[in-house]
Amino acid sequence: MAQSLTSHRPMLAVGLKLAALVLFTSMSALVKALSEDFPPGELVFFRSLFAIPVIIAWLLWRGELAQGFVVKKPMGHFWRGVLGTSAMGLTFTGLSLLPLPEVTAIGYATPIFTLILAALILGERIRMIRIGAVALGLLGVLIMVWPRLGTTQMEMAATIGALCVLAATLARAFVQIHIRQLVKVDHPAAIVFYFSMTATLLSALTAFWGWTMPTLNQALIMIIMGLIGGVAQILVTSSYRFGQASMLAPYDYTTMLFAIFIGYIWFDELPTLAILLGATLVIAGNVVVIWREHQLGLERGKARSLTDHKA
């Protein structure tokens, strides 16, 4: 029997979200360290494969394993897998070429791109406040990426890295739009499970382009990377069972602090002024969007309340 949903335990929700973000940042650091010896496709494979046992155990505990296997739109899950796997592979490529804080900062553009795609694909209306937030966010992205756009051989690696992370951010925005459609017909457990399965199978195909045989220690680290990713995915999903998305969204930006700390301690990296300025503008744009969504939610709630009262 599935456990009941607890709708409002904010301290627990924040704790789960922060724990997930620490784990995701730590996983990114492991990916960056391993990327010196292994191609992105191989790392995506281990990240996805060893998240599956964690996800299955979680679904069993939740009593949702049956829902995790049943889908009404199998091709929808396939395309969600293609988009998500591409985003992961592009991010892992970026991690091999750029500092950890820089990859983290550029990734903050996902909500901005999601808002743009929601207007273009779903026909959602964007008014002046959110248009201004989008413009602010895009300016921040430009400030972060512009210094990386070079043509010399030394600059090309960083250029490729920045473009890969930017493409990954756009792919994740498409994933967000796609999931909005999938959840209308399929259980969230199925979306989580089949993404991990699809990502594992798709990344396995990259073996034809050459993988590196890991040592025992390297294999253990890659297994730990996958387990961390699976646990983090569950923690962030669970956090939304106990707190509203609008309340939890601002905590995403604590990953910059985690990335700066881990990047400095592990890789001797510090963010540039352009990254800090650009990230600040992107975060500001996202916060405006979150605030506006909260205001619209309150207005819709009042409208429903008045309608129910009149009825």
Specify which of 39-43, 137-141, 150-154, 296-300 reaches the highest per-range mean pLDDT: 39-43
Q: In this predicted model, which residue has the larger pLDDT, 43 or 248?
A: 43
Confidence of residue 187 (pLDDT cuts 50, 70, 90): confident
Place of tokens 């600059």: 155
CB atoms within 10 A of CB 75: 8
pLDDT of the residue at 64: 84
pLDDT of the residue at 215: 95
Q: Name the least confident of 93-107, 126-140, 219-233.
A: 126-140
pLDDT of the residue at 310: 45
Token pair for 284? 């500001």
Domain limits of the chain? 10-310
Instruction: Find the mean pLDDT for residues 227-256.
Output: 86
Which is nearest to 238 in space by CA: 76, 84, 87, 18?
18
Q: What is the CA radius of gyration of the chain?
A: 20
- What tens digit of pLDDT does each residue of 267-279 get? 999 999 999 999 9
What's at 293, amino acid-wise? E
Mean of the per-residue pLDDT values for the chain? 87
Residue 187, C-beta contacts closer than 8 angstroms, at least 6 positions apart: 64, 67, 68, 70
Q: In this predicted model, which residue has the larger pLDDT, 3 or 204?
A: 204
Task: Let me know: does 250 contact 17? Beta carbons within 8 Å.
Answer: no
What's at 187, amino acid-wise? H
pTM beyond 0.85: yes
Q: Is the pLDDT at 240 greater than 90, yes or no?
A: no
Sign of CA dihedral 14, 17, 19, 21: negative
Place of tokens 């429903």: 304
Instruction: Find the mean pLDDT for residues 181-186.
Output: 85
Confidence of residue 7 (pLDDT cuts 50, 70, 90): low
Confidence of residue 190 (pLDDT cuts 50, 70, 90): confident
* Run of H or E residues at 241: helix 216-242
Q: In this predicted model, which residue has the larger pLDDT, 276 or 248?
A: 276
Burial 186-208 (b: 16+ CB within 10 A, else e): bbebbbbbbbbebbbebbbebee
Q: Is the pLDDT at 111 greater than 50, yes or no?
A: yes
Place of tokens 């996983």: 27
Question: Phi/psi zone of residue 123: left (φ > 0), alpha (ψ -120 to 50 degrees), beta?
Answer: left
